Amino acid sequence: MAVVAPLLLLFAQLLTVAFAAPVSQTLEVRQTDVSALSADDVAVYKPYTWYASTAACNPTNTSAWNCGTKCSANPSFIPIASGGDGGNVQYWFVGYDPSLQTIIVSYQGTDPSKITPLITVLRFALTPLRPSLFPGISSSLQIHDGFGEAHAASADAVLAAVRTGLSKYGVNKVTLTGHSLGGAIAIIATAHLAVQIPGVTLRTITYANPRLGNQAFVDFVNARSEMTRVNNLHDIVPILPGRFVGYAHTEGEVHIVKSGAWVSCPGQDNTNAECLIGYVPTLFNGNAGNHLGPYDGITFGGC
């Protein structure tokens, strides 16, 4: 529960801003076009949920694809490269899934027992993308500085591994995934691959990620990858940082509701009662205990 204290501190900061925000920014047109996924549609996410959970394993284990159930759940996976130290640099791995016919990129999430990665969550200043990684991109596209730093820490190594995989396995598709902070990094990495590998087909499936960029940034990503972000019940992390401090979510929310159904919430920040914002309209409705899952039986956490 080490995760709760820093998040509560953040809430206190954000509430101060929330009550000072102009009313016009908080009014929303209620969106009603939600629908429950079929059992078959939910099952499609399973391998990616496992891949997101596997990023909690260290590079020795993921590079050998030896990590118990988290690895054997995707038995045909072929590792290409793994890295990170689980502290300053989140673990990551890149490989090829011959049955899904895509390169997989996955990033470690926020481990509640480790404070270092969480510190980045406590900052919410928006900053332009790094010109060294995103040459020529408009400075109007802005992201959370700490998440940008977390992405940059492994960006070159991940890009090199993705290029290796695309050429070695003769595919043109990359699927990025991650839970929590790992999801935020996966979305920034989506923009990075879109800039660095023109013409690549991108798919991004994240879990419980916070907001990480401004409207111009998420517009850019939405236009370049098929986006899905899966949220569970009353998780508080996906409502942070607030829209009132300039943040927006990528499109394609899927919200796991009380009945256990997975509900598709089209658009960005869908405010329907069945979507996450409907469940967590304010920080007081949130439950940090829902952050790790379960997501169709898979709970995030250690390796």
Give the residue, chosen from 25, 35, 66, 76, that forms a contact with ligand NAG under the rule CB under 6 A: 66
Provide the residue type at 273 as one letter.
A
Tell me how far, at minimum, the Cβ of 62 lies from ligand NAG, in Å.
Answer: 9
User: Given the complex with ligand NAG, which of 66 and 282 has the nearer CB atom?
Assistant: 66
Tell whether residue 69 is a contact of ligand NAG (CB under 6 A). Answer: no
Q: Which is nearer to ligand NAG, 81 or 257 (CB)?
A: 81
CB nearer to ligand NAG: pick between 68 and 131: 68
What's the token pair of residue 263? Answer: 């509900």
Q: How many CB atoms lie within 10 A of CB 280?
A: 22
DSSP conformational letter for 170: T
60 binds ligand NAG (CB under 6 A): yes
Asked if 108 interacts with ligand NAG (CB under 6 A), we say no
Return the residue of 61, 106, 108, 290 that touches ligand NAG, per CB under 6 A.
61
Write the DSSP symbol of residue 263: E
Asked if 267 and 31 touch (Cβ cutoff 8 Å), the reply is: yes
Q: Would you count residue 287 as binding ligand NAG (CB under 6 A)?
A: no
Q: Quick one: which segment of 58-66, 153-161, 166-174, 274-282 binds ligand NAG (CB under 6 A)?
A: 58-66
Asked whether the bond before 112 is cis by omega within 30 degrees of 0, the reply is no
Partner residues linked to 254 by β-bridges: 230, 264
The structure tokens listed for 278 are: 């409907």
Which has the closest alpha carbon to 238: 283, 294, 192? 283
185 binds ligand NAG (CB under 6 A): no
Question: Any contact of residue 102 with ligand NAG (CB under 6 A)?
Answer: no
Residue ranges of the alpha helices (H) in 197-240? 215-222
Report if residue 67 touches ligand NAG, rule: CB under 6 A.
yes
Q: What number of chain residues touch ligand NAG (CB under 6 A)?
A: 6
- Taking the C-alpha atoms of residue 279 and residue 266, their distance in angstroms, rounded to an integer, is 16
**Binding site residues, ligand NAG, CB under 6 A:** 60-61, 66-68, 303
